[in-house]
């Protein structure tokens, strides 16, 4: 049994280290291309027809904010069509109908496309809207976004190059300082956009359309096979199909699209589950196409790292579980060479820290030091989400079909705002929450055991696992009870 545990732990840590090496690759490219910015081939001299698609599903709290913000975009009315792709099943339908009528009376071309089924979910709605879209270019914003007035004038000039198929902007956070949950998410998303998206784009690697805050050439979408609903990340899927067809993407780090982050833990878990499983589904679908293509070997390898990055979660979970029996095994004193060798893998942690550090320094020059203090909290949260996301990985590998569960939006921007008296919040306890709570107790036992045997070096990571699983499970249960109580009033 000891040998089995040691081998399993080695495999887990080695895989985490292998994926962690991706951070060093990104840091290398970041330093190489940090002064490179996307070049605009001329200015916007003509105003092409643009369709703005707004896919929504039961968004009563944010839909007016979204539609009002679209009307503030600086662009000729006669060259702008707004499609509200409404799959709602509640009073949002009537609210959208009223707002669209108001906007049409003001001279805006608002089209309310309400479906009575959710066939294909978001991908299905986008595809049906595209079939009747008037625009040569298609901008997409989710319900929790507020488009900037200059969005079109800053993105459209990049399409002067005929091979550019999509332009993605960086997400900004309306409620990044709302709570510790949103602060940790902001840290993670900043790193994704500032380092991963920007660096990959500058280095000529594949990037992803992030599902919102971007604009497509309609011809590119159709040429790549249109929207498809066989994965939960239709945006990533289409991105790879388009780039394999030879279309080029542009990422604009300095052009932002503000959005609201999930402020309630169960909403965040649903979002992370969908993203994680969708990545696995897309990897299974697109990696064979990547390796059959004529892409250079380096690009194929980096595409593989990109699409399979979420495979880390089952091994994060496994390493956390194995940490406890390893303390017992270490007491035997017969595996000192093994444990000395395993210390090398701490380099992955260093790479991860530097990855998030540089992203904060890049866009938060004044207060990046204050923000990077959140890194241990973010890391603990990632560990706490390991069970939730590992489940998504396994179900993706097993081809288990699940519903597209959208992330509820509550219009929480100011710290005085609250989701507690609003609908859409989850009210049922799942078995996953129970497992997360039991894992927290298990890790607490591991901390006590490490202190008893004076294995102090094991305590920090066990403590982060305990804090992560404890916070995720307790907050999940607490929020479920609060939501259930409010709905019963």
Asked if 235 is an active-site residue, the reply is yes
Integer CA distances (angstroms), 302 to 204, 207, 250, 299, 455, in order: 11, 11, 18, 5, 38
In terms of Cα–Cα distance, which of 21, 19, 78 is closest to 47? Answer: 78
Asked if 74 is an active-site residue, the reply is no
Q: Is 206 exposed, middle or buried (0-12, 13-18, 19+ CB in 10 A)?
A: buried
Angle at the Cα of 473 from the Cα atoms of 470 and 475, rounded to 5 degrees: 95
Angle at the Cα of 302 from the Cα atoms of 300 and 306, rounded to 5 degrees: 115
Distance CA 239, CA 223 (A): 12
**What 3-state DSSP class applies to 79?**
helix
Angle at the Cα of 285 from the Cα atoms of 281 and 288, rounded to 5 degrees: 135
Say if CB 65 and CB 411 are below 8 A apart: yes
Residue 98, Cβ neighbours under 10 Å: how many? 12
Residues 6 or more apart from 19 whose CB is under 8 A from it? 305, 308, 309, 311, 312, 348
**What 3-state DSSP class applies to 176?**
coil
The one catalytic residue among 86, 87, 142, 144: 87
Long-range contacts formed by 177-180: CB under 8 A, 24+ apart: 177/415, 178/261, 178/263, 178/412, 178/413, 178/415, 178/417, 179/263, 179/415, 180/374, 180/377
Residues 6 or more apart from 438 whose CB is under 8 A from it? none
Cα 157 to its chain centre, rounded Å, is 27
The one catalytic residue among 86, 144, 190, 235: 235
Q: Write out the two tokens for 254.
A: 């300095």
In terms of Cα–Cα distance, which of 141, 258, 134 is closest to 189? Answer: 258
**What 3-state DSSP class applies to 140?**
strand
The residues annotated with a catalytic role in the active site are 87, 235
């Amino acid at each position: 049994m000891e040998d089995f545990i040691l081998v399993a732990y080695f495999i887990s840590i080695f895989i985490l280290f292998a994926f962690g090496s991706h951070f060093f690759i990104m840091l290398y490219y970041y330093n190489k291309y940090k002064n490179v910015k996307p070049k605009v081939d001329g200015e916007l001299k003509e105003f092409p027809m643009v369709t703005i698609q707004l896919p929504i599903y039961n968004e009563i709290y944010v839909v007016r904010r979204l539609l009002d913000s679209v009307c503030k975009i600086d662009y000729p009315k006669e060259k702008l069509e707004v499609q509200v792709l409404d799959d709602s099943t509640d009073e949002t339908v009537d609210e959208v109908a009223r707002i669209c009528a108001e906007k049409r009376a003001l001279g805006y071309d608002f089209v309310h496309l309400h479906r009575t089924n959710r066939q294909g979910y978001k991908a299905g709605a986008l595809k049906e809207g595209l079939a009747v879209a008037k625009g040569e270019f298609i901008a997409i914003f989710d319900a929790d976004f507020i488009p900037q007035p200059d969005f079109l004038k800053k993105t459209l000039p990049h399409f002067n190059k005929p091979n550019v198929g999509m332009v993605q902007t960086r997400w900004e956070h309306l409620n990044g300082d709302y709570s510790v949950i949103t602060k940790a998410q902001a840290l993670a998303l900043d790193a994704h956009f500032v380092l991963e998206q920007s660096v990959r784009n500058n280095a000529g690697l594949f990037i992803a359309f992030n599902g919102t805050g971007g604009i497509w050439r309609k011809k590119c979408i159709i040429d790549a096979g249109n929207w498809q609903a066989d994965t939960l990340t239709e945006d990533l899927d289409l991105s790879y199909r388009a780039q394999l067809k030879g279309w080029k993407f542009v990422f604009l780090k300095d052009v932002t699209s503000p959005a609201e982050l999930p402020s309630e833990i169960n909403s965040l878990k649903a979002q992370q589950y969908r993203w994680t499983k969708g990545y696995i589904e897309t990897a299974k679908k697109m990696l064979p196409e990547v390796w059959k293509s004529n892409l250079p070997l380096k690009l194929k390898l980096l595409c593989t790292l990109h699409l399979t990055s979420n495979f880390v979660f089952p091994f994060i979970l496994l390493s956390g579980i194995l940490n406890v029996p390893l303390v017992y095994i270490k007491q035997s004193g017969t595996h000192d060479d093994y444990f000395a060798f395993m210390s090398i893998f701490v380099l992955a942690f260093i790479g991860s820290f530097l990855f998030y550090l540089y992203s904060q320094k890049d866009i938060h020059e004044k207060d990046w030091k204050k923000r990077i203090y959140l890194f241990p909290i973010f890391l603990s949260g990632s560990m706490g989400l390991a069970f939730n996301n590992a489940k998504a990985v396994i179900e993706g590998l097993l081809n288990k079909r699940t519903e597209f569960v959208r992330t509820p939006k509550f219009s929480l921007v100011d710290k005085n705002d609250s989701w507690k008296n609003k609908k859409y919040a989850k009210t049922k306890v799942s078995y996953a929450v129970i497992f997360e709570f039991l894992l927290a107790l298990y890790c607490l036992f591991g901390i006590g055991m490490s202190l008893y045997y004076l294995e102090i070096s094991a305590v920090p990571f066990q403590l982060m696992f305990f804090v992560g699983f404890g916070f995720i499970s307790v907050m999940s249960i607490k929020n479920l009870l609060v939501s259930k109580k409010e709905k019963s009033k």
